[in-house]
Amino acid sequence: MTSEAIIYARVSSLKQVKEGNGLSSQIAICKEHCKTNGLKPVKEFQDDTTGGNADRKGLNELKQWLAKNKSKRVVFVFDALSRVARDVRVYHEIKDAAKKNGACFSCPTFRFDDSPEGEFAENIQISVDQFQRQQNARQTKDRTKGRLLNGYWCMKAPFGYRSDGKGKVIVPHETFAPIAKAALEGYASGHFQTHREVRNFIEQHPEFRANRKTARLGNNFVKDMLKRSIYAGYFEYAPWDVPMTKGKHEPLISIGTHKKIQDRLSQRVTAPFRKDIALDFPLRGFIVCADCGSPLTGYWATNRKKVKYPYYECHKKGCESSRKAIPRDKLELEFVELLGQLQPSADIVAAARAILKDMWKQREAHLLDRRKVLKAYMQKIEAEIEGFLDRIVETRNPSIVSAYEKRISNLQREMMVFEEEQSNLGKKQPDFEELFEHTINILSSPCEIWKNKGFRWKRLVLKTVFSERVPYCRNQGLRTAKTTFPFKALSRFFGEDGVLVPPHGLEPRTY
């Protein structure tokens, strides 16, 4: 009677499946072995993962099949011992599981023998396979670490980058690099106040939606993206003790921008916005209750006829104004009147633009002094680093050494910022219009932009015009608003109170 056999084949990676014929050749050899030994192949199982791990999809399916067909006493056929496992412990776990279900091993490249000599030879072969796996892993790690230390990022390319196709260096992705750059710079500047806003910007970008199979990002995607220095042209890899290294790839942002992002991540940023702002309530979280200082929230109320009405209100328990609704249209109309008072005339804007342009032209005279200051800073940092290195050599306390190393790492980051600024000082200045025209447009006509532009432009108006949230009193309306420095500068053309709300606020309209 012909015995039944199951065939198992394994390669180390998916790449070997796509580019080679390892699985098919193993199966062909096993089938020929079955034919020679009078075995009938009834099932095939495959894997494309390392032999040092027992948790494999194909192997788990094989074990389940053996458990269901325990009475058949099948033969477990494979091309070589290393295909079953390249780890002594894992190999014997698999062999014991096969024996438990009535199966025996058979291999065209190894003769199994239950004698002490046979078991010794089997263990020697598995030990050799394990040694080769560990040695290959070490060599691969050493080569990869060497490339990292030389400035070549050879791990998976982060969002915004892709491989150059030659395996040498990552390059900006034609579609995703501009999106990643805008997201990072937007968070650094405060245009995006929360991780959710960055995530929404990326997910809702037309180019992202058109070129990604999945338009949704993982929960930690933005958090990990903001922390990575690779976008600024540097990287580190803590698992292999690769320190901060200057990469060969093209950066998407400056090291200064990256530092601003880290500063924002390391502290609670006070901003006149909340992360749960709704499109229906652009002032939600920006206007605060004059009685308790809590941000007003927004909601839709529904009457008995199922008609919805929008309201703002304070939710602070114990506040005199708590749960007392303020019609959205009433509050937002008063806010538009406030912006109308803040909107300077065309002559004032032209004068401000001329002054700024004159100051911009004088900037070149200050560059030389700044270069000298940077040089002094860098020399001071180098001296501090050398001092900490000397202390590390002299101390044997691991905790103190760790503290010194952390301080050195922080100093090196500061040095990178100064080095980048120093290199940028020698570059040609951007045009005045390129840097300031966009902001001047907002400063010159905030009310018109608020009326005619979308939600993101309204957020820009709030960020550009106001330095703090604006209080609102149910009886007196909007209180005095604190504006940003540019508006304070413009107000001097009118007089001290020319563009600010009077101390008593705006008179509420009669409804």
Each residue of 445-455: pLDDT tens digit?
Answer: 888 888 888 88
In this predicted structure, which of 140-149, 332-341, 403-412, 440-449 has the lowest mean pLDDT?
440-449
- For residue 10, what pLDDT is reported? 92
Give the count of domains, the chain: 4
In this predicted structure, which of 67-81, 184-198, 382-396, 475-489 has the lowest mean pLDDT?
475-489
Domain CATH number, residue 239 = 3.90.1750.20
Position 504 in a domain: no
Spatial distance between the Cα atoms of 280 and 298, rounded to a whole number of angstroms: 8
Contact call for residues 61 and 45 (beta carbons, < 8 A): yes
- For residue 339, what pLDDT is reported? 86
Position 394 in a domain: yes
Q: 296 and 416: one domain? A: no
Spatial distance between the Cα atoms of 82 and 225, rounded to a whole number of angstroms: 39
Position 312 in a domain: yes
- For residue 269, what pLDDT is reported? 45
Position 274 in a domain: no
Q: 359 and 405: one domain? A: yes
The answer for residues whose C-beta is within 8 angstroms of residue 297's C-beta and 6 or more apart is 281, 284, 285, 312, 313, 314, 315
Q: 373 and 331: one domain? A: no
Average pLDDT, the chain: 83
Mean pLDDT (whole number) for 429-443: 66
Position 156 in a domain: no
Q: 13 and 126: one domain? A: yes
Single out the residue in 371, 403, 438 at which a domain terminates: 438
* pLDDT of residue 273 exceeding 60: no
Q: 175 and 233: one domain? A: yes
Single out the residue in 232, 266, 300 at which a domain terminates: 266
Enclosing domain of residue 357:
346-438
* pLDDT of residue 432 exceeding 80: no
pLDDT interval class at 504 (50, 70, 90)? very low
DSSP secondary structure letter of residue 216: P
Position 88 in a domain: yes
Mean pLDDT (whole number) for 298-308: 87
* pLDDT of residue 349 exceeding 80: no
Position 280 in a domain: no
Q: 90 and 169: one domain? A: no
* pLDDT of residue 53 exceeding 90: no
Single out the residue in 139, 169, 191 at which a domain terminates: 139
* pLDDT of residue 183 exceeding 80: yes
- For residue 417, what pLDDT is reported? 79
- For residue 77, what pLDDT is reported? 95
Spatial distance between the Cα atoms of 481 and 501, rounded to a whole number of angstroms: 6
Q: 221 and 365: one domain? A: no
* pLDDT of residue 14 exceeding 90: no
Residues acting as catalytic residues: 12
Position 271 in a domain: no
Whether the CA torsion 147, 151, 155, 156 is positive or negative: it is negative
In this predicted structure, which of 128-132, 174-178, 182-186, 210-214 has the lowest mean pLDDT?
210-214
Q: 309 and 350: one domain? A: no
* pLDDT of residue 479 exceeding 70: yes
Q: 188 and 229: one domain? A: yes
In this predicted structure, which of 106-115, 345-354, 486-495 has the lowest mean pLDDT?
486-495
Burial class (CB in 10 A: 0-12, 13-18, 19+), 186: middle
Q: 372 and 336: one domain? A: no
* pLDDT of residue 44 exceeding 90: yes
- For residue 500, what pLDDT is reported? 42
Q: 246 and 182: one domain? A: yes
- For residue 411, what pLDDT is reported? 87
* pLDDT of residue 442 exceeding 90: no
Spatial distance between the Cα atoms of 315 and 274, rounded to a whole number of angstroms: 14
At CB < 8 A and 24+ separation, what contacts does 373-379 make?
374/418, 374/421, 374/422, 374/425, 375/422, 377/418, 378/415, 378/418, 378/419, 378/422
Q: 329 and 254: one domain? A: no
Residue 389: C-alpha distances to residues 243, 330, 383, 395, 401 (Å): 15, 64, 10, 10, 9
Please state whether beta strands 161-163 and 104-106 pair in parallel, antiparallel, or not at all (unpaired): unpaired
Q: Residue for token digits 């608020």?
A: 450
pLDDT interval class at 414 (50, 70, 90)? confident
Beta bridge partners of residue 7, listed in sequence order: 44, 77
Amino acid in position 233: G
